[in-house]
Amino acid sequence: MKEISLEDKFRRAAEVVCKQGLVPFPVSDTSIGILKIAVGDVEEELDLIYAFRDKASQTSKELEQASGMNSKDVERIAGSLAGKGFIFNQPSSSGVMVYRLLPLMNVGLMEYKFMGELKGTEEERTLAGLFEDLFNQVKNQIQDNYDNLVPLFSSSPPVDRTVPARTTEEGKPIRVIPVSKDVSVPQEFILPSQSVEDIIEKFDEIAVGHCFCRQRRSTLGEPCKTEAPALNCFTFGKSARHTAAQGFARMVTKQEALKIMKEAEEAGLVHKAFHPMSQENRPETSICNCCKDCCDTLNLWRNGVFPLCNSTYYLSVVDSEACVGCGECVERCPTEAMALNDEGKAEVDEKACFGCGVCARFCPSDAISLKEGLRQVRIMPPRLRAGKG
């Protein structure tokens, strides 16, 4: 049997990792370079990654068979890869250990690598730069095939769900316009929690880590212009156990979590909740608190890489008579859904608004309300050049 070189092992491992997640990443010198830094020259770990080539989630028995390794080696090597951000290793509800190979991004290696407290090393800077290079490669692919990808993006499931701000800067409740009785909601749909307080109340296990977006941008020499706090990336339940066990986050009490969430809201950050496989009827796994400046989801959209695919239950509504045309909402809106019209009044682009409530929170004249109504918001990335599609 021909011996496989280390370089070939890196390439085949990259081929497996790059196809995980919602969008495949290119297998290139860049993605292979990411593995070289994140894994290192540990051949048995590259071999175990390759064992996920046919199935991303496997039990111990399945992984033993796919890898040809014994149970002790599988557990040991998978544990090391979990600590490096490649594998999610938590038991199922029935108590069976399941190993899941994570994607490069959303949620995977990049998030976990930059979620813990950074040390300011050259390796961290190199890794942050490689991810930036990889995103530029994806942008070229997207832009060159824009027309062909529009139908795919138009039907893709929401990546996350917006949980709105509930109070103004002065602490007054933001006005909510109840859903019209004429609006039909599927009978089987169970409305998920619409406040961060309700979400936190659900869980006994809560962990908080650093915002990986703000940390990665800072590592690239681009500190957050909004000077937003960074220690506010939450995971819950099984995900909390995993991130805490691997040192990516630390466990906190409900009271600590509520305090951190309040500070995030005061800073104008947007609460974005994530559900397993985008299934909103299942409990949340995490909440990001996103700033307009650093958020990778928002930046990759603006830069022509990925669309915004979001679920929300609210829409901003402007009272034009109360609006003073200050432009605060335009400045703060993360999706550029707010603009001043010819009369100097704020207007909402309903197709771009994902109901975060940040505009209502900071409106000095209380001219903005939140209107109820289940929606999915999909905003295509800008087309930067003519495609080949």
Taking only the tens place, the pLDDT of each residue in 335-349 is 999 999 999 999 999
Q: Integer distance in angstroms from the first to the last C-alpha of the chain?
A: 43
pLDDT band at 151 (very low <50, low <70, confident <90, very high): confident
What phi-psi label fits residue 106: left (phi over 0), alpha (psi between -120 and 50 degrees) or beta? Answer: left
pLDDT band at 106 (very low <50, low <70, confident <90, very high): confident
Positive or negative torsion for Cα 173, 176, 178, 183: negative
Q: What is the pLDDT of residues 4-34, one digit of tens each?
A: 999 999 999 999 999 998 778 999 999 999 9
Outline where 51-166 has alpha helix (H): 60-67, 71-83, 109-113, 122-144, 146-155
Residue 207, judged by CB atoms within 10 A of its CB (0-12, 13-18, 19+), counts as buried
β strands within the chain, DSSP E:
57-59, 87-91, 97-101, 160-163, 176-177, 206-209, 233-236, 250-252, 270-274, 286-290, 308-318, 338-340, 346-348, 368-379
Cα radius of gyration rounded to whole Å, the chain: 22
Maximum CA pair distance of the chain?
Answer: 78
Percent of residues, the chain, with pLDDT higher than 90: 85
- Are 359 and 270 contacting, i.e. CB atoms less than 8 angstroms apart? no
Which pair of tokens denotes residue 193? 């929690």
pLDDT computed for residue 264 by the predictor = 96
| Distance between CA atoms of residues 386 and 389, nearest Å | 9
- Are 253 and 241 contacting, i.e. CB atoms less than 8 angstroms apart? no
Q: Supply the DSSP string of 284-332, one letter for each residue.
A: P-EEEEE-TTT-HHHHHHHTTS--EEEEEEEEEEE-TTT-----HHHHH
Q: Is the pLDDT of residue 47 over 70?
A: yes
Q: Name the residue type at position 11.
A: R
Grouping H, G, I as helix, E, B as strand and the rest as coil, residue 336 is coil
| Mean pLDDT for the stretch of residues 53-77 | 96
- Are 389 and 151 contacting, i.e. CB atoms less than 8 angstroms apart? no
- Are 242 and 235 contacting, i.e. CB atoms less than 8 angstroms apart? yes
| Mean pLDDT for the stretch of residues 189-201 | 87
Q: Is the pLDDT of residue 369 over 60?
A: yes
Domains belonging to the chain, first-starting first, are 6-104 (1.10.10.10), 146-379 (no CATH)
What is the Cα 345 distance to its own chain's centre?
A: 33
Which pair of tokens denotes residue 263? 């500070």
pLDDT band at 330 (very low <50, low <70, confident <90, very high): very high
Give the other-Cβ count within 10 Å of 143's Cβ: 20
pLDDT computed for residue 162 by the predictor = 96
Residue 160 CB partners (closer than 8 Å, separation 6+): 272, 273, 274, 288, 297, 310, 311
Query: What is the pTM (predicted TM-score) of this model?
Result: 0.92
Per the DSSP assignment, residues forming a β-bridge with 215 are none
pLDDT computed for residue 191 by the predictor = 75
Which pair of tokens denotes residue 22? 């919602």
Q: Are strands 286-290 and 346-348 parallel, antiparallel or unpaired?
A: unpaired
Give which of 154, 156, 161, 85 is closest to 116, Cα–Cα: 85
Give which of 291, 297, 288 is closest to 381, Cα–Cα: 297
Number of H helices, E strands in the chain: 15, 14
Q: Is the pLDDT of residue 1 over 80?
A: no
Q: What is the pLDDT of residues 274-307, one digit of tens each?
A: 998 888 889 999 999 999 999 999 999 999 999 9
Give which of 160, 164, 159, 255 is closest to 206, Cα–Cα: 255
254, 158, 355, 372: CA torsion to nearest 10: -90
| Distance between CA atoms of residues 377 and 368, nearest Å | 19
